[in-house]
Amino acid sequence: MSNSLPYSRKDVDYDNAKFRHRSFFKVITQSFLTSNRKRDCISCSTGKFLFLILIFGVAYLMLTHDTIPSRVVSRDQVFGIRKNEDNNSSTHDAGRLKKFWRRAPRLPPQLPPDTKVSTNGINHVPATLDDKSLWITRQQKVKEAFTYAWSGYKKYAMGYDELMPVSQRGIDGLGGLGATVVDALDTAMIMGIDEVVAEAGSWVEEHLAQRISEKGQVNLFETTIRVLGGLLSAYHLSGGEKGMNISHAGPNPSVYLETAKNLGDRLLSAFTSSPTPIPFSDVVLHDSSAHPAPGGLSSTSEVSTLQLEFNYLSSVSGDPKYGMEAMKVMEHIKSLPKIEGLVPIYISPDSGQFIGQNIRLGSRGDSYYEYLLKVWLQSGTSSDKNISYLYDMYKEAMNGVRHRLVQKTVPNGLVFVGELPAGKDGAFSPKMDHLVCFLPGTLALGATKGLTRKQAMANNMLNSEDLENLKLAEDLAKTCYEMYSVTSTGLAPEIAYFHTKEFSEQGHDGGNKSSEYMHDIIIRPADRHNLLRPETVESFFVLYRITEDLKYREWGWQIFEAFEKYTKIETGGYSSLDDVTVIPPPKRDKMETFFLGETLKYLYLLFGDISHIPLDKFVFNTEAHPIPINLKK
Ligand code: DMJ
């Protein structure tokens, strides 16, 4: 039996040559080399000399001109994704030489990337990504989505915490303070939708004070970030500090501040009832009593994600008590032992100590790291020396993240942040909650302090640690994007595991068989839900502002389209999903308040003018409510 291949080597070379671009010089040389004149010329010495000059001339031109056809551009090149970034110039030159001797085969003709139809069925509108009008149109689509979400909520659930869009009713999952109204209010202000500002603002004016005085148990953290944060940012954006209503709709801004003070006074009992500076997790609003969570422990992220809001309340009310209580938490945590800045996810209000070993940047850990940076930024960075310990804690923690939690997947080297469920001496778990996708944005913000990368470089502000953090931010943002791309719906699961050298698990892919990262990302059946969370688009927003790289806008648009396609409910509102890996995805029947408060707000700002709510003048609380930097003391 013959061992020969069913095709000859020549055929392959021919096929490759067929698709290869041939320059004008090459055509001339080749016809010269193959013509009879070649033989005539080579037989005489002048001819030999001329022939040599011609060969050298052609070689020179090929080495000094980029002869790769400009129309054949990979998707990564379009989005500015740099591969082999570490290549130095000598390898570059070597590459040119290689190209000269053996040119890469031209790929078969393909559509430009933005005319592709993705495998999860979401159409990508043909786009020149730097076309301003494209982003105006896309921003308008987000505004329409917000109006649609609000109308559904208003129709079926006005005054309830959340909308159940499939059942077409409301539910009080957060204590009954109309959380969607307050979470959505400043988004409507930012989008300039006066009608919604008027509706939400009037509801606050007419109902919220009464609810606050009558309602029972609420969670300190959730109520602070959504309701207190929402009221305070509405106060600022509507012109409260200027003593006027600049939002042209809704009540006098003082209503927001008075309601915030009323709420803040009751929430303070969580701090003052605790025997240590660590607050209890729950407050009963009507009698201002506070209680630990069942089991007695508070989440580390919850006790350390109150300070932006309480500090700002002190600043605008002129009463220092709010900020003082909240900052005692940070001062106390500063004194506790840590693992390279990393902390366990539970803390006891009784002993004031961390409990357990579990370290992660996902649920119960996440915004601890976010607020270390943002509370420091809020104080106006260099101006307040008393607070610089927070920035030191942040930097130490990010070094700890890089050293202990960052790994790469096999086969394709995606960078992810895993967990240490049994502490520093226990095994590494390659698990990453979608919640961790806040980290790229925080890392980028921490590197440039809200300036663009260009500005920060020009001002010589970036040290090597900042650059490393910025690089990690970009790598992680890519991973977060791929957590969406890898599923059939184009929407991320709540939790992903990653295939590493030590860890693999078969049979749990995201359903998008054509994803390059199908074998890198593992999605277990219990983790396939999507709650309309904001973290990934939040990071795209921050990274776009800082790097000015349009790929973040484009990625955000793809995610928005997937939300539109799979989570929009015909009768009104948007719904969380039970399973992002199947089409059609089963609905979970809940529109979380942060879809209006965060997800749509960040998408709107991502597509909009970069001077709108600038990152060096505002910090966004963890629920995306912007709070101005540099407080009045
Ligand atoms: C929001 O309530 C906040 O962003 C919080 O910090 C984490 N979880 C949700 C959104 O996913």
Smallest CA-to-CA distance from 599 within 153, 232, 146, 191 is with: 146
The per-residue pLDDT for range 231-288, each reduced to its tens digit, is 999 999 999 988 888 877 999 999 999 999 999 999 999 999 999 999 999 999 999 9
CA of 226 to the centre of ligand 1 (A): 9
| From 47-56, 115-124, 443-452, 615-624, the region with the lowest mean pLDDT | 115-124
Say yes or no: CB of residue 623 within 6 Å of ligand 1: yes
Catalytic (active site) residue 535 = yes
d(CA 161, CA 223): 11
d(CA 516, CA 486): 8
Q: How many CA atoms does the CB half-sphere of 355 hold within 13 Å?
A: 15
Smallest CA-to-CA distance from 236 within 574, 607, 629, 627 is with: 627
Which residue puts its alpha carbon closest to atom 10 of ligand 1? 533
Pocket mutation for ligand 1, best pick of 308, 435, 438, 531 (most atoms within 8 Å of C-beta): 435
Say yes or no: CB of residue 536 within 6 Å of ligand 1: no
pTM over 0.85: no
Smallest CA-to-CA distance from 217 within 173, 181, 252 is with: 173
Catalytic (active site) residue 366 = yes
CA of 533 to the centre of ligand 1 (A): 7
The per-residue pLDDT for range 346-394, each reduced to its tens digit, is 999 999 999 999 999 999 999 999 999 999 999 987 667 789 999 999 9
Say yes or no: CB of residue 534 within 6 Å of ligand 1: yes
Instruction: Give yes or no for residue 475 having a pLDDT over 50.
Output: yes
Pocket mutation for ligand 1, best pick of 221, 535, 538, 620 (most atoms within 8 Å of C-beta): 535
Say yes or no: CB of residue 622 within 6 Å of ligand 1: yes
Average pLDDT over residues 481-499: 98
The per-residue pLDDT for range 189-244, each reduced to its tens digit, is 999 999 999 999 999 999 999 999 999 999 999 999 999 999 999 999 999 988 88
CA of 610 to the centre of ligand 1 (A): 24
Say yes or no: CB of residue 367 within 6 Å of ligand 1: yes
CA of 395 to the centre of ligand 1 (A): 22
pLDDT of residue 245: 82
CA distances from 554 to 60, 119, 138, 538 (A): 40, 17, 10, 14
Q: Spell out the long-range contacts of 57-62 with Cβ–Cβ below 8 A and sequence spacing 24 or more.
A: 58/25, 58/26, 58/29, 59/100, 61/23, 61/25, 62/23, 62/25, 62/26, 62/99, 62/100
In the set 535, 554, 589, 592, the catalytic residue is 535
Which residue puts its alpha carbon closest to atom 11 of ligand 1? 533
pLDDT of residue 122: 53
Say yes or no: CB of residue 499 within 6 Å of ligand 1: no
The pairing of beta strand 495-498 with beta strand 431-433: antiparallel
* Ligand 1, atom nearest to 222 Cα: 2
| Cβ atoms of residues 464 and 434 within 8 Å | no
In the set 494, 509, 579, 592, the catalytic residue is 494
**What angle do helix axes 388-400 and 439-448 make, rounded to 10 degrees?**
130
CA of 162 to the centre of ligand 1 (A): 15
What one-character DSSP code corresponds to residue 595?
I
User: Kind and range of the H or E element at 498?
Assistant: strand 495-498
Say yes or no: CB of residue 229 within 6 Å of ligand 1: no
CA of 389 to the centre of ligand 1 (A): 25
Say yes or no: CB of residue 219 within 6 Å of ligand 1: no
User: Kind and range of the H or E element at 601?
Assistant: helix 600-607
pLDDT of residue 51: 57
CA of 45 to the centre of ligand 1 (A): 80
Instruction: Give yes or no for residue 31 having a pLDDT over 60.
Output: no
Catalytic (active site) residue 494 = yes
Catalytic (active site) residue 222 = yes
Which residue puts its alpha carbon closest to atom 2 of ligand 1? 623
Tell me, rounded to whole angstroms, the distance of Cα 469 from its chain centroid. Answer: 15
Helices (H), 238-387: 254-267, 269-272, 300-303, 307-317, 321-334, 366-378
d(CA 536, CA 217): 31
d(CA 191, CA 626): 13
Instruction: Give yes or no for residue 83 having a pLDDT over 60.
Output: no
Instruction: Give yes or no for residue 452 having a pLDDT over 90.
Output: yes
Smallest CA-to-CA distance from 76 within 487, 412, 488 is with: 412
Which residue puts its alpha carbon closest to atom 8 of ligand 1? 435
d(CA 180, CA 198): 15
